[in-house]
Amino acid sequence: MNFNLLLTVAVSVCLIGILLRLYVWVSQGIHPSSVAIALPERLSAAGRALAGALFGPRLITTLKSIVLDLLLQKRVLDKSLLRWVAHGLIFSGFLLLFFLHALDDQITARLFSGYVSTLNPYLFLRNLFGIMVLAGVAIAVYRRVTLRPQRMISYASDWAALVFVGGIILSGMLLEGAKISSYSTFERMVADYGDVADDAEQLALEAFWIKENGLVVAHKKVEVTADLVEQGREISGRSCVECHAPNSSAFVSFALAKVTGPMLAAGDAGAVNFLWYLHILFCLSFLAWLPFSKMFHIISAPVSLITTRIMGKENGEPANVLTRQMVGISACTHCGSCSLECSSNMFFESFDNEFILPSEKVQFLKNIASGKELDNATYKRLQQGLYICTSCDRCTNICPSGINLKELFVSSRYALFDRGIPETTMLSHFSFPLALAQLYAGDHFKALKKVEQLFRKSFTALADLARPLTLGKGQKYTNSSYQSCYACQRCTNICPVVRSYDNPAEALGMLPHQIIFSLGIGKTDLAMGAQMIWSCSTCYLCQEHCPNQVELCDIFYGLKNAAIAKIEEGGRS
């Protein structure tokens, strides 16, 4: 198959993929709605931001980001020395091989006069760079295996990236090793470059290459004597040394040749051809696959890092906020650093919901950004993962790609609200830091109103019931400490939430002592519908001052969970 044709196809697919990715950056977004901001406005805003970074007062910041974040990978180093070493080995080794080996005719030959790929230091460096990449891949595999119990989830695409990178290097080394031991390759080199007078000199040269350079000859017996080797060394010195360093300089490939040479000797020409096609297949497949995989972070992560360094965590123009969201999503390498540091990750096992982990949310948000329709169960699981998030921002601070994850998750909450999905836990003070609502005040209170209406439809308020109340036949509540209450009202009198209202009974639905009393008469549903359980600040003053040690705050927590479970069960029925 024609190599130039394969290369043209791979490069074309890669370029088309990159253009599609760039188009997604400036055409999609999470929140605010990307439909409201036209493509020309997105491009114009991005152009102004780029000009400001390159030619404005922030140029020094841009250069600082290139050095610290991109070249030195400071964010990765601050988190994990082992990961920094792995990333550095893969990144630097692969990049050096790409520019100095894959593009040697365009770069290396122009930088160094008299360049020949089989001379040193090129022969040695090619193996050194390859072993650097393999060492980095080995460390990456080790991390993925050992960190799995610590909420590191791996996809097939994560392993595919390592297989591609490792396959390129290993197939290249095996190809070079096969060439070292191949007699047909040796014959071609002698015919093209050798200065051999007769068959005797050819035999001597073969003996030298068998002894010193790993050549394997299967079709005839060559007696390798000391005199013949020395004679071959002299011939090699006048005909080979100018364009070929000792094969032992390629220390990895030479060692592989010692192992594989005897096995491949009978069909050495076919083996070389097979390994050449295998190596080319790995390289060109990787090139075509790159823009459609997480390996696109080679392009998007530097953009994300520089953008974060320049913009900080400020919002900026809505058009650029949307673009930053899409750059961030494509810059995610699914490394799992954010999930390992997440302050909410202890809920992952309890809820059995992978969307609680930041790294899994990011991977899925591209579906939301593209407007892909999903089933209601998936929406609910994603929304639960977004609202269990405490917005502590540890994920943003630790992300090696510089993704503003907190801003991405906050935007995603409101993107789902736009779809009309009420989130029941929104009533809890600890489900979402209310200070962030100022960013989307209108959206926040509109969504809050939906949730309040949902609760009003699901539960009866005390004010709507005819009094006096009678004993109910409901199940006893699991936390039996409520049975010790004798309605002294000390909990209500000391509650700071109650004292903050002029008419607390109207604002809160029920007062603390009334909630406990309702449990005592079997009205659990009535207690679950009280606004008080959601307005409770969990200061524990009531529980600490209760003379009969009623566990009010703990009971309120249980009531909230039971209320949410009842509403969601109703939604599924």
Characterise 115 by phi-psi region: left (phi > 0), alpha (psi -120 to 50), beta (else): beta
Could you give the CA distance from residue 541 to residue 498 in angstroms, rounded to a whole number? 12
| pLDDT at res. 387 | 80
Please tell me the distance from the alpha carbon of residue 403 to that of residue 425, in angstroms, as a whole number.
26
User: Which two tokens mark 213?
Assistant: 């350079």
The arithmetic mean of pLDDT across residues 41-57, rounded, is 83
With a cut of 90, say whether residue 261 has pLDDT above it. Answer: no
Residue 470: pLDDT band with limits 50, 70, 90 = low
* pLDDT for the residue numbered 389: 82
pLDDT of residue 494: 94
User: What's the rounded mean pLDDT across residues 507-525?
Assistant: 89
Single-letter code of the amino acid located at 215? L
Q: How many helices (H) and strands (E) does the chain have?
A: 30, 0
Q: What is the largest CA-CA distance in the chain?
A: 120
Q: Residue with structure tokens 């998007």? A: 300
> What is the structure's pLDDT at 432?
52
pLDDT bucket at 205, cuts 50 / 70 / 90: confident
**pLDDT higher than 50, residue 529:** yes
What kind and span of H or E run contains 210?
helix 199-212
Q: Which of 72-76, 327-331, 553-557 has the lowest mean pLDDT?
A: 72-76
Q: What is the pLDDT of residues 265-311, one digit of tens each?
A: 777 888 899 999 999 999 999 999 999 988 898 889 888 888 877 77
Instruction: Find out whether 482 and 519 touch, Cβ atoms under 8 Å.
Output: yes
- Cα–Cα distance measured from residue 174 to residue 179, given in angstroms and rounded to the nearest whole number: 9
> How far, rounded to the nearest angstrom, does the alpha carbon of residue 505 sit from its chain's CA centroid?
49
Query: So what's the pLDDT on residue 313?
Result: 63
Average pLDDT, the chain: 84
- What is residue 412's predicted lDDT score, i.e. its pLDDT? 87
| Residue 548 to residue 483: CA distance in whole angstroms | 9
d(CA 424, CA 453): 10
At 572 the pLDDT is 46
Answer whether residue 546 shows pLDDT above 90: yes
Q: Give mean pLDDT, residues 90-106.
A: 92
What is the Cα–Cα distance from 179 to 341, expressed in whole angstroms?
A: 48
Residue % of the chain over a pLDDT of 70: 91
Domains and CATH numbers, the chain: 80-292 (no CATH), 326-457 (1.10.1060), 472-572 (1.10.1060)
pLDDT band of residue 333 (cuts 50, 70, 90) is confident
CA angle centred on 170, ends 169 and 174, rounded to 5°: 120
Least confident of 207-216, 237-246, 400-409: 237-246
Please give the structure tokens belonging to residue 458.
Answer: 């699901």
- Residue 573 predicted with pLDDT over 50: no
| Rounded Cα–Cα distance for residues 181 and 274 (Å) | 15
In whole angstroms, give the CA distance from residue 209 to residue 181.
9
Compute the Cα dihedral for 54, 56, 60, 61 and give only its sign.
negative
- pLDDT exceeds 70 at position 93: yes
3-state secondary structure 272-311: HHHHHHHHHHHHHHHHHHHHHCHHHHHHHHHHHHHHHHHH
Where does the pLDDT of residue 253 fall: very low under 50, low under 70, confident under 90, or very high at 90 and above?
very high
Is residue 32 reached through a cis peptide bond, with omega within 30 degrees of 0 on the bond before it?
yes
What does the DSSP 8-state code read for residue 15? H
Task: Write out pLDDT tens, residues 167-200.
Answer: 999 999 999 999 999 888 888 888 877 777 788 8
Residue 495 to residue 342: CA distance in whole angstroms: 32
Judge whether residue 554 has pLDDT over 70. yes
Which of 67-71, 154-158, 405-409, 475-479 shows the lowest per-residue confidence on average (mean pLDDT)?
Answer: 475-479
Q: Is 377 exposed, middle or buried (0-12, 13-18, 19+ CB in 10 A)?
A: exposed
pLDDT (0 to 100) of residue 435? 45
Q: Write out the DSSP string of 20-46.
A: HHHHHHHH--SSS-GGGS-HHHHHHHH
Q: How confident is the model at residue 206 (pLDDT cuts 50, 70, 90)?
A: confident
Task: Indicate the pLDDT class of residue 560, thresholds 50, 70 and 90.
Answer: confident
pLDDT beyond 80 at 422: no
Q: Are 509 and 461 in contact (CB under 8 A)?
A: yes
